[in-house]
Amino acid sequence: MLQVLSLGAGVQSTTLALMAAHDEIGPMPDCAIFADTGWEPAAVYDHLAWLRGDNVLPFPVVIVTNGNIRTDLLANAAGKTAGKRSATPPLFVLGKDGREAMLSRQCTDAYKLDPILKMVRKMIGLVPRQRAPKTPAVEMWIGISADEAHRAKPSQIAWIERRYPLLDLRMRRWDCLQWLRRNGYPDPPKSSCVGCPYHSAEQWRALAPDEMADAIAVDVLIRDGLRGTHGPLYLHRSLKPLSTVNLEAEPDLFGNECEGMCGV
C-alpha cells in the first residue's frame, strides 16, 4: 500500500515524521502531506519550511490546499459567497438554552481532509470521478498520541486504512517532545489556524502580536453572522469580543478537535 503521513507540522506529526526518518517506525513513508488552510501562524510555516529543507526528511513533503479559510470566512461574512464554498469553522454563538454553542464544524473536511484525499487519489492513479478501490490501497499515518487517544477514529473510507503509530508505541505528547530534544530537534509549534475557536488561552497568547491583531479583526468582522446563521458570532467561547477577553485562565478545548487532522 501507499504509505502517506498526514503532517500537521505540530509536535506529534513532526515526531512521527522524524522517527520514520530515523528508521524507528516503518516502512518508510512514500510522502507526507500538509494541508495548508492559508491561515496558519508564521511559526508553523517556518517549521514546515525547515522540515522540507535539505537533509531533514528522506521523503517528500507535499503541500496541498483548498483555498484560504480566512478569505472564504470573510467573504461569507460580507455576503459574497454566491457560488463559492462556505465551509465554516465552529464559531461560538448563543444557544437556545442561553449558553454558548458552536456552529457545525465544516472546516476540517473542506480545508484538511478534502485536499489530502484529492492528492492521495491522484497518487494511486485515480482520475476525477473514477471509482476508488473497495479494499485498502493507502495506509494513512496520523500523529495522535496516547494522551489524545479519544481523537483516534477508524477510517470511513474503504480504500484508506488509518494507522496511529504513536498509540502503538504508547507515546504521549510529552514523550514526543522528549524524543525530539534527545535527538537535537527544535520544539515544534502547536499547529492550528490563527483564529481557531478551539484555541486554549495558551494558544491565543502564543500568537505573534500581528497574528493576534488579525484574529481580533476577524472576530469583529464575523460578528453580524454568516449565511444561514442567526445571532452574533465569536471566536471565543465567552461570547465576548476577543479584544476584551482575559486569557489568563481559560480551559483547553483542543481535545475536542477535528479527527486528528489539525493540531498535531
pLDDT for 213 beyond 60: yes
pLDDT of residue 51: 97
Q: Looking at residues 120-134, what average pLDDT do you find?
A: 91
Angle (CA) 261 168 60, round 5°: 50
pLDDT of residue 84: 55
Residue that wins the pLDDT comparison between 208 and 249: 208
Domain residue ranges in the chain: 2-90+104-197
pLDDT of residue 256: 53
Q: Which residue has the cell 481535545?
A: 255
Cell of 187: 520544539
Cell of 193: 489556524
| 3-state secondary structure at position 149 | helix
pLDDT digits (tens, 9 = 90+) for 143-202: 999 999 998 998 999 999 999 999 999 999 999 999 999 999 999 998 899 999 999 888
Terminal alpha carbon distance of the chain: 23
Q: Looking at residues 107-114, what average pLDDT do you find?
A: 92
Q: Looking at residues 224-249, what average pLDDT do you find?
A: 89
Superfamily (CATH) of domain 2-90+104-197: HUPs (3.40.50.620)
Residue 125, Ramachandran bin (φ over 0: left; ψ between -120 and 50: alpha; else beta): left
pLDDT digits (tens, 9 = 90+) for 31-70: 999 999 999 999 999 999 999 999 999 999 999 999 999 9
Residue that wins the pLDDT comparison between 21 and 96: 21
Percent of the chain exceeding pLDDT 90 equals 71
pLDDT of residue 9: 93
pLDDT digits (tens, 9 = 90+) for 62-103: 999 999 999 999 999 988 665 455 678 999 999 888 888 999
Strands 160-163 and 92-94: unpaired
pLDDT of residue 58: 97
